Amino acid sequence: MDEREYQELITPYRECMENMENRIRVLAEDYRDRCGEEPIHHIQKRIKTKESIEGKLRRRDMEETAEDARNYLRDIAGIRVICYDLEGIRKLTRALKRQMDLEIVKEKDYIANPKPNGYRSLHVIVRIPVYFLDKKELIPVEVQLRTVAMDFWASLEHDLKYKAVRDLEGIDTRAELKDCSRIIEDVEARMQILARALEVGE
């Protein structure tokens, strides 16, 4: 895959990523207008680099071509939606699923079922229609939804990723990581109980 092929490959993915961001912003705006609350803390997005696409294809024993990238990778475009609470995540996801022109390809709920290291997030692969001069194509975008607490934990873990994670004298690194995940979840729960209690009493 040379630079020109990579640029040609990612153009529709970039369009879909922006399309998805706009869809989510419209939903968030609607949410705010009705409930008086902003559901989204912030949004991040990224297009996989040429190096990263080629690396992933290689690890899966596929050819490092634009064609194989198109056929087998579904996270070339990714968008991450950091919400204030679980209810925001659930409402946005439900609304996305109701959009008739989208196709939900796959859903992985690491919130209901966290990964062993403590990772929590909701992953949805959505295919979005893109219109070319004389055909329509469905392009996948990976949407990750998480609360600020889940993102806080992921950012601490990101900090560790630069180092080689291994056990230190007297410290079980992985257990430590998971323990932090649990504490963060607890803090978030305590604050939300507080929020709900204040709400009820209003």
Residues 31-70 contacting a copy of itself, CB under 8 A: 31, 33-34, 36-37, 41-42, 44, 49-51
Q: Which of 59, 61, 112, 159 binds a copy of itself (CB under 8 A)?
A: 159
For position 143 contacting a copy of itself by CB under 8 A, the verdict is no
123 CB-near residues (< 8 Å, 6+ apart): 106, 107, 108, 109, 110, 142, 143, 144
Compute the chain's Rg from CA coordinates: 19
Residue number, 94 or 115, with CB nearest to a copy of itself? 94
Stretch that binds a copy of itself, among 56-64, 70-78, 113-121, 164-172 (CB under 8 A): 164-172
For residue 26, give both structure tokens: 């419209």
Q: Which residue has the tokens 């990976």?
A: 142
Stretch that binds a copy of itself, among 60-68, 69-77, 106-114, 168-176 (CB under 8 A): 168-176
For position 30 contacting a copy of itself by CB under 8 A, the verdict is yes
For position 127 contacting a copy of itself by CB under 8 A, the verdict is no
For position 117 contacting a copy of itself by CB under 8 A, the verdict is no
Q: Which of residues 67-96 bind a copy of itself (CB under 8 A)?
A: 84-85, 91, 95
**Burial class for 15, CB neighbours closer than 10 Å (0-12, 13-18, 19+):** middle
Q: Report how far residue 75's alpha carbon sits from residue 59's, in angstroms, rounded to the nearest whole number.
A: 15
For position 151 contacting a copy of itself by CB under 8 A, the verdict is yes
Rounded to an integer, what is the distance from CA 64 to the centroid of its chain? 25
For position 136 contacting a copy of itself by CB under 8 A, the verdict is yes
Judge contact between 45 and 79, C-beta under 8 A.
yes
Residue number, 51 or 61, with CB nearest to a copy of itself? 51
Q: Which of 61, 98, 112, 116 binds a copy of itself (CB under 8 A)?
A: 98
For position 128 contacting a copy of itself by CB under 8 A, the verdict is no
| Cα dihedral 31, 24, 196, 148 sign | negative
